[in-house]
Amino acid sequence: MTRHDWTKEEILEIYNKPMMELLYEAATIHRKHHDPNKVQVSTLLSIKTGGCPEDCGYCPQAARYHTDIEGNDLMSVSQVKAQALRAKSGGSSRVCMGAAWRNVKDGEEFDNVLEMVRTINKLDMEVCCTLGMVTENQAQRLAEAGLYAYNHNLDSSEEYYKEVISTRGYQDRLDTIGNVRKTNVTVCSGGIIGMGESLEDRAGMLVALATLNPQPESTPINALVPVEGTPLEEQQKVSIWEMLRMVATTRIVMPETQVRLSAGRTDMSREGQAMCFFAGANSIFAGDKLLTTPNPDVNEDMEMFKLLGLEPQKAFEKKAKPESVSADESQYKPLGEKPKWSRPGHKIERNLEAKAKSKA
């Protein structure tokens, strides 16, 4: 049963477990609720870039920062459809459209976004949007257009949040999630590590997410990509070990949630990413750009999937159980209790048994 009463102390205790114990526990929970050999491939498309009035310290799209980001007006519906078809042909089952807005404003631009949602929905793909704050009415209109998920990250703990952002409050973010929850649209909400926060802040963010009832259907875990011109440009990049701990802890406290391995993958080796999948991550963003930051090429990801024996998860496949799991779960018994067919040398034993029977 999913818990909604996690405390910061409990989550910190999990986060700080010896690495091997943490990974084993996370992998065990992951296999109970998800197919460990399936990972969803999503594409994040920036439909309106730059010029945002917010002051998020990590974001190169803020108008007040001097970065190399080239702003653009809202893309056309036909452009978005072409990008979605390209993403689908590359193995993506989900398209997330992001616009650099503080909040959604009713009018022609929002009407165009609604048409984009309808268009992608007809392609039999999951459609996600991240457009800033939305009202209950706007969330309902997105739902009626066929939106599958709405992304609105909490970013960090409530305590540390104000160190990174001043133009929007933590409660504003929770209110947007609440407005989405009044519809049939699923919630995607996570955060960023590596912004100078403490381990207590990381645990605090997970408390805020895990105590939501229901918990978010998907949670992106981002590693900060420091961008020149932003207040966080001098931050040291997080290590793979920090990402592993964050992914594993998220999986343990949010067992049924899709854990999305998001920004920062370009700095991870294939081995590091493989360990994140083992620890419970079961979604990635594909494509050479993640809104405005670098991301691995889709062909590199497909090669990694082939090496690891991973299969892209299909659209609308929420909690895929491993097809190989039968009513007899003896294959998952502890090492000393494995059935005969799974032990090393079982073929030799079987041949000796056959010879003995033939002699008799």
| 319-337 per-position pLDDT tens digit | 544 443 333 333 333 333 3
Higher pLDDT residue, 97 or 58? 97
Task: Decide if 52 is catalytic.
Answer: yes
Q: Which of 94, 128, 129, 181 is catalytic?
A: 128
Q: Write out the E strands in the chain.
A: 38-48, 94-99, 126-130, 149-151, 186-188, 191-193, 218-223, 258-261, 281-286, 289-290, 293-294, 311-312
Nearest to 92 by CA among 42, 17, 55, 30: 42
What are the residue ranges spanned by the domains of the chain?
A: 8-312, 330-359
Q: Which of 52, 94, 129, 141 is catalytic?
A: 52
Task: Decide if 129 is catalytic.
Answer: no
Nearest to 45 by CA among 77, 22, 23: 77
pLDDT for res 91: 87
Q: Which of 94, 96, 245, 276 is catalytic?
A: 96
Does the domain formed by 8-312 have CATH 3.20.20.70?
yes
Q: Is a pLDDT exceeding 80 seen at residue 52?
A: no
Task: Decide if 251 is catalytic.
Answer: no
Measured between alpha carbons, how far is 42 from 127 in angstroms, rounded to an integer? 10
Q: Which of 94, 173, 181, 188 is catalytic?
A: 188
Average pLDDT over residues 216-237: 88
pLDDT tier, 231 (very low <50, low <70, confident <90, very high otherwise): confident
User: What tokens appear for 338 in the block?
Assistant: 């494995």
pLDDT for res 290: 46
Measured between alpha carbons, how far is 256 from 318 in angstroms, rounded to an integer? 9
Task: Decide if 31 is catalytic.
Answer: no
pLDDT tier, 192 (very low <50, low <70, confident <90, very high otherwise): very high
Q: Which of 173, 245, 260, 265 is catalytic?
A: 260
pLDDT for res 358: 52
User: What pTM was computed for the model?
Assistant: 0.84
Residue 354 CB burial class (10 angstroms; 0-12, 13-18, ≥19): exposed
For a pLDDT cut of 90, what percent of the chain falls above it? 61
| 104-120 per-position pLDDT tens digit | 888 999 999 999 999 99
Q: Which of 56, 129, 202, 265 is catalytic?
A: 56
The total of other beta-carbon atoms located within 10 Å of residue 96's CB is: 28
Taking CA atoms, 232 is separated from 65, 171, 173, 195, 261, in Å, by: 11, 23, 21, 7, 21
Task: Decide if 56 is catalytic.
Answer: yes
